[in-house]
Amino acid sequence: MHEPTTNFLFPNDFHVMWSLMIALYPYITGLVAGAFIVSSLFHVFGRGELAPVARLAMVASLAFLLVATLPLLAHLGHPERALNIMITPHFSSAMSAFGLIYGLYLVLVVAEIWLMYRIEIIETAARSRGLKRKVFATLALGVYDTSAEARAVDHRAITALAAIGIPMACILHGYVGFMFGSVKANALWSTPLMPIIFLFSAVTSGMAMILVLYVVVTRVNGRRIDGACVQSLAQWLWLFATVTVTLELLELVSLSYEQNEEWLVVRELYFNRIPFSFFGVQLIFGSLIPFVLLAIVVLMRRYLTDTLRHVLSFIAAAILLVQVFAMRWNVVVGGQIFSKSGVGFRESYVPELGGREGLGMGLLIFVVPFLVMAFINRWLPLSPPRGDEPPGGGA
């Protein structure tokens, strides 16, 4: 077996073709799937302590879903052709099938959010005047029944949609891991664990995002943070983060144990080409530190004050958001640093500041969902009505 060198680069190996936008794309779709899972834990699995974040999670899922395709459009040379996958699906192509999955999932999320806000939409239309009344009357879709029976029907419909949406959310993001895992010629990507790792890391990032958003939105709205909700989110987050990191390490250990040609490439990549990004950011900072912090929150919950619990959980969730993006970056960009010959390596990729695939565009795309959530919160609050808040410790 040959040792990797810096030579033997093919002419089409000098540039990283899938750059920041292709790393940002699976990160955003992961947030979509993870946020939906948080909402489904309440609606489908009856986790009543998560009631304070049920609305927030659904709206966050919609907000990120609306911009999920923007990184791909920024990357494409002719983004106007993107609509072709929506109107001419090709079921033998995973990329083409995404158009159908995305469209159906978007309709499902919008329908579930409408049912969640239906009563408030009707009440807002009734007490408003002028243009606001017309807008909310239109949003009511001609349905003005607010009786207990109608609310029960809404609840059953939300539960059904949430149950249907769970596998759809998993497929929406799992297919991204499938796309990378099916590339046989790439030693880093071609593994059956890739779709599973992508899926569990998606749930981790989505839960982390909801925890961070919940703390911020609750403070901005002048409400108290529900201790039971934060504790539950921290417990679920600890579980999924542990499984995610374990799968990532199992993949690395399996390659190391087999000692085949793929391991020679991956070893050179992780230990000599991107050691800071992989070991420093993804494993030590992004995995070990939040694991310890969440372990304290979960195992020592009886000895923690509410404020300390919230601070530790918030910090751990914020770091896990960095960890998941680092994982996406190391997979997408790291998998392109070694040549298609398997023996050469290119210089490390550094994203540009400007341009349609630069850091500025990436930051702009990532900020848009938060602006969408702020707009929705202006008219339809992300927090449940004050009378619906569950009892629990808070700060």
What is the full per-residue pLDDT of the chain (395 aa) written as tens digits?
Answer: 444 444 555 555 556 778 889 899 999 999 999 999 999 999 999 999 999 999 999 999 999 999 998 998 888 877 877 777 777 767 777 777 777 788 889 999 999 999 999 999 999 998 889 899 999 999 998 888 889 999 999 999 999 999 999 998 888 877 778 777 777 767 777 777 888 899 999 999 999 999 999 999 898 888 899 999 999 999 999 999 999 999 999 988 888 888 887 788 888 888 888 889 999 999 999 999 999 999 999 999 899 999 999 999 999 999 999 999 999 999 888 888 876 666 667 777 788 888 888 899 999 999 999 999 999 988 888 887 665 544 443 44
Structural domain containing residue 60 = 11-377
- For 152, the token pair is 């029960």
347 lies in a domain? yes
The number of domains in the chain is 1
User: What's residue 248's pLDDT?
Assistant: 92
382 lies in a domain? no
User: What's residue 245's pLDDT?
Assistant: 94
CA 334 to chain centre: 20
User: What's residue 395's pLDDT?
Assistant: 42
389 lies in a domain? no
User: What's residue 329's pLDDT?
Assistant: 92
Residue 263's domain is classified under what CATH number? 1.20.1630.10
User: What's residue 391's pLDDT?
Assistant: 40
23 lies in a domain? yes
24 lies in a domain? yes
Closest CA to 262 of 188, 330, 334, 327: 188
303 lies in a domain? yes
Task: Indicate the pTM of the whole model.
Answer: 0.89
181 lies in a domain? yes
